[in-house]
Amino acid sequence: MMNSYRELETIYKATPTHMVGDGFRVINFIPGNNELAKRLNPFVLLDYNPSFYFPPTDSPFGVGPHPHRGFETVTIAYKGAIAHHDSVGNHGIIEAGDVQWMTAGAGILHKEYHAPHFAKQGGLLQMVQLWVNLPRLYKSAPPAYQALTQQQMGTYNFPNQQGLLKIIAGDYYGVHGPANTFSPINLFDMRLVSHGEAILELPGDHNVAILVLEGEITINQKQSAHDSQLLVFELSPGKIKINSEGKNAVLLVLSAEPLLEPIAHYGPFVMNTRDELQQAFNDFYQGKFGYLE
């Protein structure tokens, strides 16, 4: 009998890190203007900040006010704490294990920086930021902000205490995540114990990728991957078998119904046409995104 595995299509290795502002030292796995963004649409950007030490300071590091339109930013904190302010009055702090899900929609200004209490003591920061494209129908949705704590996230336990999934968005075998999304999306924080084994079953018509944050794993009993690699799977049904080799593994599982629409992406805007991009810049320069110090 053949094993119906979902095949691994490509392993993307880490590129050199670069700074975003002065607070985030990231590997950019999905740039918005290349083939991978089209292949994994609605996931049009993925920045990973591997564990990095920031010294104590009274002036928190981060990124100053900047605009967005046409998509959502999803910020996942693994170590450290991140603060957020935006032009529609939302602000919040996410601690390790929490997620902020911001809908830029019709347009927003925001800034992200190390939370003051974290900045004062300094320490390790580890986080991921995703850009989730909005369907054309919802690109002008009003800006919104969801603060998702790990206590709100459903937990799915793999059999035999091999590991677990924290459900950020979507659902897995009846366990639901707290995020509201505009198209079908699963986002799971996956943990495997040392020498653990798990079978993942995701919709066959979804784009699927797994970011390895920590540990070494074997996929489908044949391909090895390690930390700071992005694994993209074929668009076809089948189970994904994951074994952790050695220490515990930390993975981010992305799964979404493909968004089969044109992408026009430049800088902080993700639209469908170049004209819409130009309009976004015009609106920003005319102050239509509000004000943020």
Residues at the binding site for Fe cation are 66, 68, 110, 112
User: Hey, how many other C-beta atoms are within 10 angstroms of the C-beta on 78?
Assistant: 21
The candidate with the shortest Cα–Cα distance to 175, out of 191, 184, 161, 186, is 186
CA distance 191 to 179: 20
Quote the DSSP letter at residue 89. Answer: S
Closest CA to 49 of 73, 80, 91, 86: 80
Produce one character per residue of 157-168: b if its CB has 16 or more CB atoms within 10 Å, e if not.
ebeeebbbbbbb
Q: How far apart (Å, rounded) are the C-alpha atoms in residues 168 and 150?
A: 8
Place of tokens 């990124």: 63
Q: List C-alpha distances in Å: 107 to 65, 138, 178, 179.
A: 13, 12, 23, 20
Binding site: what residues are annotated? 66, 68, 110, 112
